[in-house]
Protein backbone atom coordinates (compact mmCIF):
# COMPACT_ATOMS: atom_id res chain seq x y z
CA UNK A 1 0.00 0.00 0.00
CA UNK A 2 1.48 3.37 -1.01
CA UNK A 3 1.68 5.99 1.72
CA UNK A 4 -1.46 8.13 1.85
CA UNK A 5 -3.59 5.96 -0.44
CA UNK A 6 -7.02 4.95 0.79
CA UNK A 7 -7.77 1.44 1.97
CA UNK A 8 -10.83 -0.34 0.65
CA UNK A 9 -13.07 -0.50 3.70
CA UNK A 10 -14.17 3.01 4.64
CA UNK A 11 -14.86 6.20 2.74
CA UNK A 12 -12.08 8.68 2.17
CA UNK A 13 -11.67 12.42 1.61
CA UNK A 14 -8.74 14.80 1.39
CA UNK A 15 -6.89 15.79 4.54
CA UNK A 16 -6.58 19.41 3.39
CA UNK A 17 -7.27 21.47 0.27
CA UNK A 18 -5.30 20.93 -2.92
CA UNK A 19 -4.88 23.54 -5.66
CA UNK A 20 -4.03 23.01 -9.30
CA UNK A 21 -4.36 25.35 -12.28
CA UNK A 22 -3.86 25.68 -16.02
CA UNK A 23 -5.66 26.23 -19.32
CA UNK A 24 -8.41 23.88 -20.48
CA UNK A 25 -7.82 21.42 -23.32
CA UNK A 26 -10.57 22.61 -25.66
CA UNK A 27 -11.20 26.27 -24.78
CA UNK A 28 -7.74 27.26 -23.52
CA UNK A 29 -9.16 29.36 -20.66
CA UNK A 30 -7.13 29.37 -17.45
CA UNK A 31 -8.87 27.56 -14.61
CA UNK A 32 -7.93 27.35 -10.94
CA UNK A 33 -9.20 24.23 -9.19
CA UNK A 34 -9.44 23.72 -5.44
CA UNK A 35 -10.08 20.19 -4.20
CA UNK A 36 -11.69 20.42 -0.76
CA UNK A 37 -12.37 17.83 1.93
CA UNK A 38 -16.03 16.81 2.14
CA UNK A 39 -18.26 14.99 4.61
CA UNK A 40 -19.13 11.31 4.39
CA UNK A 41 -21.61 10.36 1.65
CA UNK A 42 -21.13 13.69 -0.15
CA UNK A 43 -19.67 12.13 -3.28
CA UNK A 44 -17.95 14.41 -5.79
CA UNK A 45 -19.48 17.88 -6.24
CA UNK A 46 -18.33 20.51 -8.76
CA UNK A 47 -18.82 24.15 -7.71
CA UNK A 48 -18.46 27.04 -10.20
CA UNK A 49 -17.02 29.78 -7.96
CA UNK A 50 -16.66 32.14 -10.94
CA UNK A 51 -20.45 32.46 -11.19
CA UNK A 52 -22.45 34.68 -8.84
CA UNK A 53 -24.67 31.95 -7.44
CA UNK A 54 -21.77 29.47 -7.10
CA UNK A 55 -23.90 26.68 -8.64
CA UNK A 56 -23.09 23.07 -7.85
CA UNK A 57 -23.19 20.02 -10.11
CA UNK A 58 -23.02 16.51 -8.76
CA UNK A 59 -20.67 14.18 -10.58
CA UNK A 60 -23.35 11.80 -11.78
CA UNK A 61 -24.43 10.41 -15.13
CA UNK A 62 -27.83 12.07 -14.71
CA UNK A 63 -26.13 15.39 -15.46
CA UNK A 64 -24.15 14.36 -18.55
CA UNK A 65 -24.87 16.44 -21.66
CA UNK A 66 -23.68 15.73 -25.21
CA UNK A 67 -20.16 16.82 -26.06
CA UNK A 68 -17.54 15.73 -28.55
CA UNK A 69 -14.40 13.97 -27.30
CA UNK A 70 -14.94 14.87 -23.63
CA UNK A 71 -17.35 14.51 -20.72
CA UNK A 72 -19.53 17.52 -19.91
CA UNK A 73 -21.89 17.93 -16.95
CA UNK A 74 -24.62 20.55 -16.63
CA UNK A 75 -27.08 21.54 -13.89
CA UNK A 76 -28.39 24.63 -12.11
CA UNK A 77 -27.61 26.85 -15.09
CA UNK A 78 -23.93 25.91 -15.22
CA UNK A 79 -21.65 23.48 -17.03
CA UNK A 80 -18.31 21.85 -16.26
CA UNK A 81 -16.30 20.35 -19.10
CA UNK A 82 -13.56 17.76 -19.54
CA UNK A 83 -14.13 16.29 -16.08
CA UNK A 84 -13.03 12.75 -16.90
CA UNK A 85 -9.34 13.03 -15.97
CA UNK A 86 -9.99 14.45 -12.49
CA UNK A 87 -12.80 11.96 -11.87
CA UNK A 88 -10.46 9.18 -12.96
CA UNK A 89 -7.79 10.35 -10.50
CA UNK A 90 -10.28 10.51 -7.62
CA UNK A 91 -11.74 7.09 -8.45
CA UNK A 92 -8.34 5.53 -9.09
CA UNK A 93 -7.03 6.69 -5.70
CA UNK A 94 -10.37 5.89 -4.02
CA UNK A 95 -11.30 9.37 -2.87
CA UNK A 96 -15.03 9.13 -2.24
CA UNK A 97 -15.93 12.63 -1.07
CA UNK A 98 -14.63 15.91 -2.48
CA UNK A 99 -15.84 19.41 -3.34
CA UNK A 100 -14.23 20.62 -6.57
CA UNK A 101 -14.22 24.40 -6.84
CA UNK A 102 -13.30 25.76 -10.26
CA UNK A 103 -12.91 29.26 -11.66
CA UNK A 104 -13.94 28.48 -15.26
CA UNK A 105 -16.13 26.00 -17.09
CA UNK A 106 -13.35 23.63 -18.21
CA UNK A 107 -10.88 21.83 -15.97
CA UNK A 108 -7.16 22.27 -16.69
CA UNK A 109 -5.66 19.99 -19.32
CA UNK A 110 -2.27 19.90 -17.56
CA UNK A 111 -0.16 17.31 -19.41
CA UNK A 112 -3.18 15.48 -20.84
CA UNK A 113 -3.13 12.79 -18.16
CA UNK A 114 -4.50 12.46 -14.62
CA UNK A 115 -1.07 12.27 -12.98
CA UNK A 116 -0.88 15.95 -11.95
CA UNK A 117 -4.27 15.60 -10.25
CA UNK A 118 -3.02 12.48 -8.46
CA UNK A 119 0.11 14.26 -7.30
CA UNK A 120 -1.94 17.16 -5.92
CA UNK A 121 -4.25 14.74 -4.10
CA UNK A 122 -1.38 12.79 -2.58
CA UNK A 123 0.40 15.98 -1.52
CA UNK A 124 -2.75 17.12 0.27
CA UNK A 125 -3.06 13.74 1.96
CA UNK A 126 -6.13 11.64 2.66
CA UNK A 127 -8.38 11.15 5.66
CA UNK A 128 -10.14 7.88 6.25
CA UNK A 129 -13.73 8.42 7.32
CA UNK A 130 -15.91 6.13 9.40
CA UNK A 131 -18.71 5.35 6.94
CA UNK A 132 -18.19 2.15 5.00
CA UNK A 133 -17.62 2.19 1.27
CA UNK A 134 -20.48 0.32 -0.36
CA UNK A 135 -19.32 -1.86 -3.20
CA UNK A 136 -21.65 -3.24 -5.85
CA UNK A 137 -20.93 -6.78 -6.99
CA UNK A 138 -21.82 -7.11 -10.69
CA UNK A 139 -24.09 -10.14 -10.86
CA UNK A 140 -25.07 -10.33 -14.53
CA UNK A 141 -23.54 -9.59 -17.91
CA UNK A 142 -24.60 -6.34 -19.55
CA UNK A 143 -23.47 -5.43 -23.07
CA UNK A 144 -23.91 -2.08 -24.82
CA UNK A 145 -22.86 -1.74 -28.44
CA UNK A 146 -22.86 0.36 -31.58
CA UNK A 147 -22.41 -2.36 -34.25
CA UNK A 148 -22.13 0.13 -37.10
CA UNK A 149 -18.96 1.53 -35.52
CA UNK A 150 -17.62 -1.75 -34.17
CA UNK A 151 -17.83 -0.37 -30.64
CA UNK A 152 -19.01 -2.11 -27.51
CA UNK A 153 -18.59 -2.25 -23.76
CA UNK A 154 -19.78 -4.90 -21.34
CA UNK A 155 -19.62 -5.65 -17.64
CA UNK A 156 -19.08 -9.22 -16.56
CA UNK A 157 -19.40 -10.83 -13.11
CA UNK A 158 -16.01 -11.56 -11.60
CA UNK A 159 -14.73 -13.08 -8.39
CA UNK A 160 -11.88 -10.59 -7.99
CA UNK A 161 -12.05 -8.05 -5.18
CA UNK A 162 -11.40 -5.13 -7.50
CA UNK A 163 -12.41 -3.65 -10.81
CA UNK A 164 -10.69 -5.14 -13.86
CA UNK A 165 -10.76 -3.29 -17.18
CA UNK A 166 -9.88 -5.08 -20.41
CA UNK A 167 -9.71 -2.72 -23.39
CA UNK A 168 -9.07 -3.30 -27.09
CA UNK A 169 -8.17 -0.22 -29.12
CA UNK A 170 -8.56 -1.01 -32.81
CA UNK A 171 -9.26 1.66 -35.42
CA UNK A 172 -8.84 -0.74 -38.33
CA UNK A 173 -6.10 -1.61 -40.77
CA UNK A 174 -6.12 1.86 -42.37
CA UNK A 175 -5.28 3.63 -39.11
CA UNK A 176 -1.76 4.85 -38.39
CA UNK A 177 -2.32 3.76 -34.79
CA UNK A 178 -1.72 0.02 -34.38
CA UNK A 179 -4.20 -2.19 -32.56
CA UNK A 180 -3.50 -2.32 -28.82
CA UNK A 181 -5.05 -4.29 -25.98
CA UNK A 182 -4.42 -4.21 -22.26
CA UNK A 183 -6.10 -5.57 -19.15
CA UNK A 184 -5.46 -4.24 -15.67
CA UNK A 185 -6.75 -4.78 -12.14
CA UNK A 186 -7.50 -1.25 -10.93
CA UNK A 187 -5.97 -0.92 -7.48
CA UNK A 188 -4.73 2.48 -6.28
CA UNK A 189 -1.14 1.33 -6.58
CA UNK A 190 -1.62 0.02 -10.12
CA UNK A 191 -3.55 3.11 -11.12
CA UNK A 192 -0.82 5.47 -9.96
CA UNK A 193 2.02 3.42 -11.43
CA UNK A 194 0.59 2.23 -14.74
CA UNK A 195 -2.45 4.34 -15.73
CA UNK A 196 -2.35 7.88 -14.33
CA UNK A 197 0.45 9.19 -16.59
CA UNK A 198 -1.16 8.04 -19.86
CA UNK A 199 -1.96 11.15 -21.92
CA UNK A 200 -4.68 12.27 -24.30
CA UNK A 201 -3.88 11.38 -27.90
CA UNK A 202 -5.19 12.52 -31.25
CA UNK A 203 -4.40 12.19 -34.95
CA UNK A 204 -2.81 15.16 -36.70
CA UNK A 205 -5.71 15.41 -39.16
CA UNK A 206 -8.16 15.58 -36.24
CA UNK A 207 -6.16 18.43 -34.68
CA UNK A 208 -6.54 20.46 -37.85
CA UNK A 209 -10.30 19.90 -37.87
CA UNK A 210 -10.67 20.74 -34.16
CA UNK A 211 -8.63 23.92 -34.45
CA UNK A 212 -10.60 24.96 -37.53
CA UNK A 213 -13.72 24.60 -35.36
CA UNK A 214 -12.17 26.86 -32.72
CA UNK A 215 -10.98 24.21 -30.24
CA UNK A 216 -7.48 23.70 -28.89
CA UNK A 217 -5.84 26.50 -30.85
CA UNK A 218 -3.42 27.09 -27.96
CA UNK A 219 -2.07 23.53 -28.09
CA UNK A 220 1.09 22.17 -29.68
CA UNK A 221 2.48 18.66 -30.04
CA UNK A 222 4.21 19.13 -26.68
CA UNK A 223 0.88 19.49 -24.88
CA UNK A 224 -0.63 16.13 -25.86
CA UNK A 225 0.25 13.11 -27.98
CA UNK A 226 -0.35 13.81 -31.68
CA UNK A 227 0.13 10.98 -34.17
CA UNK A 228 1.10 11.70 -37.75
CA UNK A 229 -0.35 9.66 -40.62
CA UNK A 230 2.81 7.51 -40.61
CA UNK A 231 2.36 6.62 -36.92
CA UNK A 232 5.17 8.82 -35.57
CA UNK A 233 4.54 11.31 -32.78
CA UNK A 234 4.75 15.09 -33.26
CA UNK A 235 7.30 16.87 -30.99
CA UNK A 236 6.86 14.35 -28.19
CA UNK A 237 7.69 10.85 -26.98
CA UNK A 238 5.43 8.06 -25.77
CA UNK A 239 5.64 7.12 -22.10
CA UNK A 240 4.68 3.54 -22.96
CA UNK A 241 4.46 1.87 -26.34
CA UNK A 242 0.76 1.26 -25.58
CA UNK A 243 0.07 4.66 -24.01
CA UNK A 244 -3.11 5.21 -26.09
CA UNK A 245 -4.91 2.13 -24.76
CA UNK A 246 -3.83 3.02 -21.23
CA UNK A 247 -5.39 6.45 -21.68
CA UNK A 248 -8.61 4.85 -22.93
CA UNK A 249 -8.73 2.90 -19.66
CA UNK A 250 -8.03 6.12 -17.72
CA UNK A 251 -10.99 7.79 -19.44
CA UNK A 252 -13.19 4.74 -18.86
CA UNK A 253 -12.48 4.83 -15.12
CA UNK A 254 -13.43 8.51 -14.96
CA UNK A 255 -16.60 8.07 -16.99
CA UNK A 256 -17.78 5.02 -15.05
CA UNK A 257 -17.26 6.93 -11.80
CA UNK A 258 -20.32 8.92 -12.88
CA UNK A 259 -22.40 5.90 -11.92
CA UNK A 260 -21.98 6.99 -8.31
CA UNK A 261 -21.15 3.37 -7.46
CA UNK A 262 -18.04 1.54 -6.34
CA UNK A 263 -18.24 -1.82 -8.04
CA UNK A 264 -16.25 -4.99 -8.54
CA UNK A 265 -16.32 -7.02 -11.70
CA UNK A 266 -14.79 -6.98 -15.16
CA UNK A 267 -15.33 -4.29 -17.78
CA UNK A 268 -14.45 -5.37 -21.33
CA UNK A 269 -14.50 -2.76 -24.09
CA UNK A 270 -13.67 -2.48 -27.77
CA UNK A 271 -13.18 1.04 -29.08
CA UNK A 272 -15.59 2.37 -26.48
CA UNK A 273 -15.50 6.13 -26.04
CA UNK A 274 -17.23 8.60 -23.75
CA UNK A 275 -20.70 8.02 -25.23
CA UNK A 276 -20.81 4.26 -24.58
CA UNK A 277 -19.00 4.70 -21.25
CA UNK A 278 -21.80 7.03 -20.16
CA UNK A 279 -24.47 4.50 -21.13
CA UNK A 280 -22.67 1.85 -19.08
CA UNK A 281 -22.39 4.29 -16.18
CA UNK A 282 -26.15 4.81 -16.39
CA UNK A 283 -26.71 1.05 -16.15
CA UNK A 284 -24.33 0.76 -13.21
CA UNK A 285 -26.12 3.64 -11.47
CA UNK A 286 -29.29 1.53 -11.33
CA UNK A 287 -27.66 -1.71 -10.29
CA UNK A 288 -28.54 -1.15 -6.63
CA UNK A 289 -32.12 -1.98 -7.49
CA UNK A 290 -31.31 -5.49 -8.69
CA UNK A 291 -28.24 -6.85 -6.92
CA UNK A 292 -26.90 -7.06 -3.44
CA UNK A 293 -24.69 -4.25 -2.21
CA UNK A 294 -21.76 -5.35 -0.09
CA UNK A 295 -20.31 -3.26 2.71
CA UNK A 296 -17.04 -5.09 2.99
CA UNK A 297 -13.72 -4.68 4.72
CA UNK A 298 -10.47 -4.65 2.80
Which residue is catalytic, options 27, 85, 274, 278? 274
What are the backbone angles phi and psi of residue 297, rounded to the nearest 5°? -80, 165
Q: What is the three-state SS of the chain?
A: CCCCCCCCCEEEEECCCEEEEEEECCCCCEEEEEEEECCCCCCEEEEECCCCCCCEEECCHHHEECCCCCCEEEECCEEEECCHHHHHHHHHCCCCEEEEEECCCECECCCCCCHHHHHHHHHHCEEEEEEECEEEECCCCEEEEEHHHCEEEEEECCCCCCEEEEEEECCCCCCCCCCEEEEEECCHHHHHHHHCCCCCEEEHHHHHHHHHCCCCCCCCCCCCEEECCCCCECCCCCCCCCHHHHHHHHHHHHHHHHHCCEEEEEEEEECCCHHHHHHHHHHHHCHHHCCCEEECCC
Nearest to 109 by CA among 204, 22, 216: 22
Helix axes 84-92, 243-256, angle to 10 degrees: 80
Active site residue 274: yes
Catalytic annotation, residues:
274
Amino acid sequence: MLMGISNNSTQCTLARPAVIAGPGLFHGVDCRVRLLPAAENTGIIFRRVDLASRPEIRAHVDYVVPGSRRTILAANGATVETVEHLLSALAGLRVDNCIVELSARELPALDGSSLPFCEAILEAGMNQQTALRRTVCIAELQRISEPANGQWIECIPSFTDDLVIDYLLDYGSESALPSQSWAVQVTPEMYLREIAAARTFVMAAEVEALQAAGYGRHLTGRDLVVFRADGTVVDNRLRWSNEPVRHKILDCIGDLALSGRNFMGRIVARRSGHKLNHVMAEFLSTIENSVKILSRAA
